[in-house]
Amino acid sequence: MILDKNIIAEHNDQLLADHKRRFDFLAADIPNVEAVLDKLVAFNIAIPSWALGTGGTRFGRFSGGGEPRSLEEKIDDVGLLHALNRSSNSISLHIPWDIPGNTAAIIEHAKQHGLHFDAVNSNTFQDQPNQALSYKHGSLHHTDKGVRQLAIDHNIEVIKYGEALGSKALSVWLADGSSFPGQINMRNAFNNTHESLQAIYDALPEDWKVLIEYKPYEPYFYSTTIGDWGQSYLLASKLGKKATTLVDLGHHLPNTNIEQIVALLLSEGKLGGFHFNDSKYGDDDLTTGSINPYKLFLIFNELVEGLDAKGINHATGLSWMIDESHNIKDPLEDLLMAVEAIKISYAQALIVDTPALKAAQAENDVVVAEGLLQHAYRTDVRALVAEARLRAGAALNPVKLYRDAAVRSTLIGERGANTVATGL
Ligand code: AOS
Ligand code: ZN
Ligand code: ZN
Ligand code: ZN
């Protein structure tokens, strides 16, 4: 299914008068509004290939319909999202879930939708059919050198796929850990992981990054070998320039000050990428911004401040991606909501009165400093984000158009009512 430009233009015409009234009201109060709009238009968030189908929990999965059945259909779905919001111009593949058969044809197909390939992901958390050795007790940290080598070889193979597709980064998330005290020697596990990552690092092309993701628990429940940002940072530092830390918002224990982690990693030049999502108690499954949008804003505030301080381009300096499991909502609607929440927080961070904040901080004026952040956060910037979409040729209200154009029922008609997409 393709959403042609006329459908989007008709939709926008209907909403234009209301939009303009809201936007003009807001814009009058934002001194650098054109610069903010340019940044919003440029800011894209990658979509992971595994978030396009309905996810599940270990208790069950309630299949949605019309889910993508192939890599081509996954690209089509991200193409639909990008047509609706012009904010997701890349897709992140997971090998071996997404083996590109004919690479040239896949690249061409993506191009037709205005997409390129974001970071490629390796998978050493599942055994593949006929795999010689098992990842049951881990991969890069394993006690058996043979298992470690298998996982190293897989990661190098993923880099090769990525090179063919024009990716520039490898994301490594390891399920390696332990569920019971005494199960593993933590020191050896960490050192094995370092040694294995070094072998992968040595195979990275010069202009690539490796993004090292951390997670405190799940699928193991006592220890994770790369369990927090300190462990990821330590590995990234030992490995060298091309190695950075990836922050997945859901991979923190409750109330962790993620904005402070982000500020320090950025300051050290070791923040490589982001996985956006939200959570109430733990993990990484809920729509970005659905539970704690103030936290998301504070994170973006540190990001904008830190990127500007280092002269790094907001849009291209880091790998921005969504990583959610959509169990209840239509995955495409969920992703549209997540992108909207990200852009709202980003816009709020962009309108913070930075000179005034710096002055208040220098004078230790706590009330003024906090008030400046609250003022930006409490500003309703939705019309600003919508204006950026309008200028980029996207829909003023992507979810409304998605519903009005009956996208899901068309997809069900094309692909069937009972579909299973690979992924979470
Ligand atoms: C797992 O919790 C991590 O967030 C991964 O980044 C990702 O969700 C996974 O690689 C997909 O299975
Ligand atoms: Zn297509
Ligand atoms: Zn993640
Ligand atoms: Zn996760």
pLDDT tens across 313-344, in order? 999 999 999 999 999 999 999 999 999 999 99
Atom of ligand 1 nearest to the CA of 325: 8
Distance CA 278, CA 359 (A): 32
Atom from ligand 1 closest to the CA of residue 424? 12
d(CA 387, CA 378): 19
pLDDT in tens, 391-403: 999 999 999 999 9
Give yes or no for a contact between 176 and 141, defined as CB atoms under 8 angstroms apart: yes
- Give backbone dihedrals phi and psi of 319, rounded to 5 degrees, phi first: -90, 115
* Residue range 55-83: mean pLDDT, rounded: 94
Q: How far is the CA of 390 from the centre of ligand 4 (A)?
A: 32
Cα–Cα distance, 400 to 85 (Å, whole number): 12
Strands (E), 164-204: 169-172, 177-178
Mean residue pLDDT of the chain comes to 97
Per-residue model confidence as pLDDT tens digits over 171-186: 999 999 999 999 999 9
Q: Give the ligand 1 atom nearest the CA of 50.
A: 11
When pLDDT is averaged across residues 127-133 and rounded to a whole number, the result is 96
**CA 419/CA 422 separation, integer angstroms:** 10
The CB density around residue 316, as the number of other CB atoms within 10 Å, is 11
121 lines ligand 1 (CB under 6 A): yes
Q: Which two tokens stand for residue 269?
A: 């030049």
In eight-state DSSP terms, residue 246 is E
Q: Is 276 in the pocket of ligand 1 (CB under 6 A)?
A: no
**Which CATH code fits 44-351?**
3.20.20.150
- Which residue's CA is the closest to the ligand 1 atom numbered 1? 173
What ipTM was assigned to the predicted interfaces of this complex?
Answer: 0.97
Residue 422: predicted pLDDT: 63
Residue 368 and residue 322 in contact, taking contact as beta carbons nearer than 8 Å: no
Task: Report how far residue 142's alpha carbon sits from residue 379's, in angstroms, rounded to the nearest whole number.
Answer: 50
**CA dist., res. 291 & res. 286, Å (int):** 8
